Structure 1
Amino acid sequence: MESAAKCRSPATLLLLLLLAHLLPSMATSHVEMESVYVGQRVLPVRLGRPAFGPESLAFDHRGNGPYTGVSNGRVLRWRGPLRGWTEFAHNHKHETVAACAAKKRLVVPESACGRPLGLQFHRQSGDLYYADAYLGLMRVGRRGGQAEAVATEAGGAPLNFVNGVDVDQDTGHVYFTDSSATFQRSDYLTIVLTGDATGRLLRYDPATGVAAVLASGLSFPNGVAVSADGTHLVLAETARCRLLRHWLSGPRAGTTEHFADLPGYPDNVRLSDAGGDNGYYWVGLNRDKSWMAEGTTPRSVAAVRVRAADGGVVEALRGLGNATVSEVVERPGGALWIGSVDTPYVGLFKAGGLSSSGRRSL
């Protein structure tokens, strides 16, 4: 992907320096994995100004898309090279707040108009659920339009930083994360810096309209994915550079355990189409661990492929420049769609799929 380097404020630089000082043990990684250097082979599918930051990607029940949420608070849909990106959904502020109107081209603070992050369809109903970091868990019908907030609190506490989303296609339950009860998305670095562990894993039941707390005391819970058999969730705990597994059924139901250590700070988690014990998860990395000491290099890990059976990290995507990776979605045929909270485009890498040995054919 192309470089997305930006001038950082003194406050942000100070936070990064402090983080590097306070977390020396996270400076290097010794995970052994096969590497794919994608480099200039990633095609940028550009968004229209002033939108940027396609953090998460979803495809509808017909395989159309991707759909993605962007910095101006809207959800866009890719209609192909001829039609490009068109608006699919917005929240109530885009009809009631002048600065958020569709014809406004100004860049306003994301908290003013909302900020969609993780999103996923329930294929049977056609509903799209997405996490608005500031407004709560949102839902919009298959035809798009104005989305409604279906959850703004859980367990008697308001949602503060709604982040990752996945949907159990069999039950219709929506699983999502509230990354911190203390800090909002605009202060996400502070969550890591302070060791804040007030995040929660949540479940929304469309039948009852209730959002329940499944786990709490988490350190920056981020992306979440439902396992192929629906027995558990795989959850990214960003501040601790790891994946957790939360059991939904069976003898360990209700418990949360360690699943995988990662070579960087994870964002979203997506289950591959392969499914079952032979499947795997793609995990986007905001940065790899060596970034604190070395900066971005051609070897920097941007995303990893993790075995669903045992949490083994088996493959790394490298060579994506200075752009962070929020999400990787693998489509039939092996194409990888790559989201980033920092870029004005979605990346498309047309890989050749996986061989029987698990190695990617390029």
Structure 2
Amino acid sequence: MDRRTPLVPLRYITLPGHGPEDVVADPRGRVLTGVADGRILRIDGLDDPPAARVEHIAEIGGRPLGLELLPDGDLLVCCAEGALLRVDPDGGTGNVRVLTESAAGERLRFCSNVVALPDGTVYFTVSSQVHPLRDWMGDLVEHTGTGRLLRLEPGAREAEVALEGLQFANGLARGADGSFLIVAETGARRLTRYQLTGPRAGRAEPLVEQLPGFPDNLWRGAPDGPVWVALAYAAGKIKKQDGREPDPIVLV
């Protein structure tokens, strides 16, 4: 692939808010995202950015981070203040429901990203058990290793700990064959594979290490497509030895 050629045309949409984090697209091509003041927004008409329509569909009362669209149209939302939520985008007032606020008998802190499996099981990450979102840099500096991957079974009110000891667990994506999850460990500059099926189910191993930046969100555009890795660069832009910027990271 020629990295000098844009993969898709760039279009810029002005939002009535700050800090859009995760983005997902519904079957009609509308994009949903959360902004810093707690609103969930839905953008329609992306083919014509100046005329794009932005709709305020929910208010979660906290900072929305990771999003996951469910087959029935509902939206899973990670609230950074410590809750996993379910939002009905067309439900009007009262369309936000708390799925869980605890794991292993402890209150949740810093929920980050979420993936739903076909059987209704939900996995989501907690970046830190020490620092809240506003002090995220402190977790990276201290290298606390208190990030977790949590599992919420259908109908359960409390999550289980699937994996702990992670360095700022962040983005989350499912493998193309559904046999594993990929967890972005921002503080370790690596991607970790968590096995869901087979003889190694429940075990984790490094998938990619020494990334040229800090992995944040992960995204798979199609069930059998590649996983895109968003990298944040510290102290300006990281350069290769030849002075060029790193290539985008794509996992097949």
TM over 0.5: yes
Q: Deviations over 1:41-78 (max 9, x none)?
A: 52211101xx1111111122x24321001111111000
**AA partner of residue 77 (structure 2):** Y
1:327 maps to which residue? none
CA distance in 1, matches of 2:203, 2:238: 36
Q: Secondary structure at the match of 2:144?
A: coil
The one of 228, 231, 236 aligned to 1:285: 231
> Contact 1:244 / 1:259 at 8 angstroms: preserved in 2?
yes
Shift of 1:165: 1.3
> Contact 2:221 / 2:227 at 8 angstroms: preserved in 1?
yes
State whether structure 2 residue 211 is matched by structure 1 residue 265. Answer: no
1:116 maps to which residue? 64
> Contact 2:77 / 2:85 at 8 angstroms: preserved in 1?
yes
Shift of 1:37: 5.9
1:199 maps to which residue? 147
CA distance in 1, matches of 2:247, 2:35: 20
Q: Secondary structure at the match of 1:258?
A: strand
Instruction: Label 1:157 to 1:225 Cα distance change in 2 as closer, same or farther (>3 A).
Output: same
> Contact 2:115 / 2:122 at 8 angstroms: preserved in 1?
yes
CA distance in 2, matches of 1:268, 1:299: 23
> Contact 2:238 / 2:245 at 8 angstroms: preserved in 1?
no
Instruction: Label 1:293 to 1:47 Cα distance change in 2 as closer, same or farther (>3 A).
Output: closer
Q: Secondary structure at the match of 1:58?
A: strand
Shift of 1:302: 8.0
1:29 maps to which residue? none
CA distance in 2, matches of 1:274, 1:197: 31
> Contact 2:23 / 2:33 at 8 angstroms: preserved in 1?
yes
Q: Secondary structure at the match of 2:13?
A: strand
CA distance in 2, matches of 1:265, 1:293: 10
> Contact 1:268 / 1:284 at 8 angstroms: preserved in 2?
yes
The CA RMSD over aligned residues, in Å, is 2.4
Q: Secondary structure at the match of 1:252?
A: coil
Shift of 1:176: 0.8
CA distance in 2, matches of 1:274, 1:157: 33
Instruction: Label 1:42 to 1:64 Cα distance change in 2 as closer, same or farther (>3 A).
Output: closer
Q: Secondary structure at the match of 1:214?
A: strand
CA distance in 1, matches of 2:235, 2:212: 8
CA distance in 2, matches of 1:69, 1:144: 17
Greater Rg over alpha carbons, structure: 1
Q: Secondary structure at the match of 1:171?
A: coil
State whether structure 2 residue 151 is matched by structure 1 residue 210. Answer: no
2:32 maps to which residue? 67
CA distance in 2, matches of 1:215, 1:117: 20
Shift of 1:230: 1.6
> Contact 1:286 / 1:302 at 8 angstroms: preserved in 2?
no
2:86 maps to which residue? 139
State whether structure 2 residue 87 is matched by structure 1 residue 88. Answer: no
> Contact 2:213 / 2:238 at 8 angstroms: preserved in 1?
no
CA distance in 1, matches of 2:206, 2:238: 26
1:171 maps to which residue? 119
**AA partner of residue 42 (structure 1):** L
Normalized against structure 2, the TM-score is what? Answer: 0.87
State whether structure 2 residue 111 is matched by structure 1 residue 162. Answer: yes
> Contact 2:75 / 2:88 at 8 angstroms: preserved in 1?
yes
> Contact 1:78 / 1:85 at 8 angstroms: preserved in 2?
yes
CA distance in 1, matches of 2:73, 2:128: 30
Structure with bigger helix share is: 1
1:305 maps to which residue? 250
State whether structure 2 residue 175 is matched by structure 1 residue 223. Answer: no
**AA partner of residue 250 (structure 1):** G
Shift of 1:90: 1.2
Shift of 1:173: 1.7
Shift of 1:34: 6.0
* Number of residue pairs aligned between Structure 1 and Structure 2: 242
1:323 maps to which residue? none
Shift of 1:36: 3.9
> Contact 2:25 / 2:32 at 8 angstroms: preserved in 1?
yes
Normalized against structure 1, the TM-score is what? Answer: 0.62
Q: Which runs of no fewer than 5 residues in structure 1 stay unpaired?
A: 1-32, 94-113, 308-362
Shift of 1:274: 5.9
CA distance in 2, matches of 1:148, 1:303: 36
**AA partner of residue 87 (structure 1):** H
Q: Which runs of no fewer than 5 residues in structure 2 stay unpaired?
A: none
> Contact 1:200 / 1:221 at 8 angstroms: preserved in 2?
yes
The one of 134, 137, 143 aligned to 1:189: 137
